[in-house]
Amino acid sequence: MGATESGPLGILGGTFDPIHFGHLRLAEEARGALGLARVRLIPAGQPPHREPPRCSGEDRLAMARLAVAGNPGLEVDDGEVRSTERSYTLHTLQRLRTELGPARPLVLILGADAFQGLPTWHRWEALFDLAHIAVANRPGSAPHARRWPGILSPALEAACRGRMANSPAALAAAAAGRVMPFDMTPLAISASLVRDLLSGGASARYLLPDSVLDYIGLHHLYRPS
């Protein structure tokens, strides 16, 4: 096994309905800021927290694969789309632990908006036993992480106490359990914005890869309902 196979693995879950440059920059910048060997993008099958996605799991997987093509630092995992269960992050991390063993550092990457909602997730406190959590400051949805004490719920703040890390070395030194904020280039792109533009007949070009837009056009996705 080379260094790449044993270094920290980033995990980026999401609906990816569709995948866009906000997701891709998040993965790419997390790789650099957190010292990750690779980032694995995991499109959700049936996300428990939200409306069903507009597109099928197959289409969202295909778009994610097109988006990461040519970048050896990014990969796509079809485990949640293939599963008939609801997509709980806890179960995905348990599956990855089985696949990768107890020692490999796993780093769950979340946008700050997703992180603030963590206490609503299924058995959220158990996630810290399975992975580190890295939180990207996302424009428009959360103040900078340095001001966390003011914005986190008391339960989340308590769960983070004693876990804060500020260097990639701290993540590489343990398999799980640390929380590390990092800044990313602000990109106010969301999948909802892309869907709204497309269903209104407007251009979404330069918000997501051309290859993904071509797929959307070819398969007539995100048309007005």
Contacting ligand ATP (CB under 6 A), which of 9, 24, 26, 34? 26
Tell me how many residues contact ligand ATP (CB under 6 A): 18
State which residue, 26 or 175, has the beta carbon closest to ligand ATP. 26
Contacting ligand ATP (CB under 6 A), which of 96, 191, 212, 221? 191
State which residue, 80 or 105, has the beta carbon closest to ligand ATP. 80
Contacting ligand ATP (CB under 6 A), which of 8, 9, 11, 15? 15
For 98, other C-beta atoms within 10 Å of its C-beta total: 9
Rounded to a whole number of angstroms, the minimum distance from the CB of residue 95 to ligand ATP is: 19
By the rule CB under 6 A, 222 interacts with ligand ATP:
no
Span from 20-28, 31-39, 74-82, 157-165 in contact with ligand ATP (CB under 6 A) = 20-28
Contacting ligand ATP (CB under 6 A), which of 113, 117, 151, 211? 113
Give the residue among 129, 143, 116, 132 at the shortest CA–CA distance from 168: 132
Q: Which residues bind ligand ATP (CB under 6 A)?
A: 14-17, 22-23, 26, 110-111, 113-114, 136, 138, 187, 189-192
